[in-house]
Amino acid sequence: MCERFTLLLGGASSGKSSAAEKICVSSGLDRIYLASAQLYDEEMRTKAAQHRTDRGPDWRTIEEPLNASEVIFSASDGEILLFDCATMWLTNHLLAENDLIAESARLMEALRETRARVVVVSNEVGLGIVPENALARRFRIEQGALNAQLAGAADCVVGVMAGLPFVLKGAMPEALG
């Protein structure tokens, strides 16, 4: 069983978020959903609203596209925080032209120091073709580096493909077994 920090990796729409929610619900702890998406258009607003409905009322949702580390630091013992997702968070910082090394360091510090249990969702973006433009290539490199940092710090790393979880590090969380 993964006690403190669990990372779920997979492709887009692979089932990562659903698996992460199962882990949180099965924990019996107070649940916090840290959403990093910025809702710029109607499609994203509709998707976010559907996710809130699907999760149900037993979650406290915090929408924070850039300052995830502050939210993670502030979570306390007796809570489980689902950060969904590190990929959107990184994208937000990349597009804002923020210092990715400093922001990633703050995130990693928050994950080490928080008293809460944490589940992080992140996309694996290195399995496809090499992108044709410089921004996309930089994103792929930065996402790979962030995922490696997250995986190194996590107690448990679970890959998800076609809705099926597989263990990369640690033991399979009971909720997914």
pTM: 0.94
Q: How far apart are CA 39 and CA 47, in angstroms?
A: 9
- pLDDT at position 128 is 83
Q: How far apart are CA 148 and CA 157, in angstroms?
A: 11
Angle, CA of 150, 54 and 16, to the nearest 5°: 25
Q: What is the DSSP string of 113-155?
A: H-SSEEEEEEE--TTSPPPSSHHHHHHHHHHHHHHHHHHHH-S
CA dihedral 155, 48, 31, 148 (to 10 degrees): 10
- pLDDT at position 101 is 97
Q: How far apart are CA 143 and CA 87, in angstroms?
A: 7
Q: pLDDT by residue (tens digit) across 106-150?
A: 999 999 999 999 999 999 998 888 889 999 999 999 999 999 999
* Residues with catalytic function: 51
User: Using the 8-state DSSP alphabet, how is residue 88 labeled?
Assistant: H
Q: pLDDT by residue (tens digit) across 39-57?
A: 889 998 998 898 889 898 9
- pLDDT at position 2 is 58
